[in-house]
Amino acid sequence: MHLVSFLPVLCGWLAFPLVLATVPILNNDVTPDLVVPNRYIVKYKDAVADKGPVQARHERAVHRASRAGGSMRGILDTFALPGLRGYIVEISPSELGNLVESDLLEYIEKDTITTTAAITPTDRHSQHRMMTQYDAPRGLVRLSHRSAHTTSNEYHYAATAGLNIPIYVLDSGIRITHSEFHQSPNPNTQGSSTSRARWGANFIPSSPDTDEDGHGTHVAGIIAGTTYGVAKHAHVIAVKVLDGTGSGSMSGVLQGLDWAVKDARDKGVMRRAVVNLSLAGVYTQSVNDAVQAAVDQGMTVVCAAGNTGEDAGGYSPGSAAGAITVGAVNGTGTVGEGGENRRATFSNWGGAVDIFAEGVAVLSSGAQSDTHVKYMSGTSMAAPHVAGLAAYFIVEEGLEGEKVKARVLAVAGKGVQDRKGGADRVAYNGDGL
């Protein structure tokens, strides 16, 4: 009697067909303080038709049932990356018990917290035509010198560095009015100054379209700043996934990646676009899948390795195989890290780390004013050196898609000390000394 009366309700919830196979719940071993309560990332099986009637019926049922008690918000958003389709849902434990029996789903993953991969900062108030920047920031000097022991203060680079390449900065936002992002869009022609930074999307609920933390503006400055940037003619797009404390959710990162892929596709720049992710959280399968989906579409995705001094393979998105994962070296010799070309003690390590770049006491743009600059340390600062380098090679060598990562890794210098299984590569632009 109970079984007969219960089945019609259950079947409507699952949206036919009904097969009692339990869907795995990922991230069950994550400590509660790193979990977003009652929020899950849900992935459909690849065989489920995109926006078909079965999927639509399932989503309506999930949304209705999860909101029935009045305390949960139900389905918050959907995503549709190639090979990764699903939704983000806020749902009670009791209703989750029904969801795990759906035959439509590949996995359900607990949403977790992600944070910037930065150490507490200290503020401070051509074709092939080559340029030299004198008194350049140490990270840029290192990028254009194969030897770690150079005494030069010069950054040597091609005049068209990163010209018009779109770089999606998934971070705390960008102060798009900062002077570092204003210059003529074409270095070979005269023209009025214009901004190379634009606002893209915001996935922090009820937050303004500004950089409330400063981390994203600093990262963008390393990528494309006029003074502090690697690719001085690239364009940076703000995709806000971190709040004013430098914290966000992995579901927000997934939403940001989904938006970036769609924007690049709509603008016809997919295989010349770069994504920078200077953030890290616990291993999250859905985010790694999203990174791989973007890479499979031809985007170059650069990730920070993380700052816990542990194996980067346990963190996302840096553990995503298709990404370029960047660890930090110290080229300053001033912070007790052991000197040039040595892995910074905070930097994660291991087989997931593809390359290293400067990540200690890096000077770049800040968000307090249009001329504010500051020092920050972390793999968050190392990654944008490589994101800028990717844009540099896209323009200088006409590369796109998977060839960009291959070139970044092939040109790199060697001699990283204490790399603990990370690749023996230091970012190098190939145009220096």
Residues with catalytic function: 171, 215, 380
Sign of CA dihedral 258, 260, 265, 266: positive
206: left (phi over 0), alpha (psi -120 to 50) or beta: left
Through-space distance between the first and last CA atoms of the chain, rounded to whole angstroms: 82
Collect all residues with Cβ–Cβ distance below 8 Å to 375 and sequence separation of at least 6: 121, 122, 123, 124, 361, 362, 363
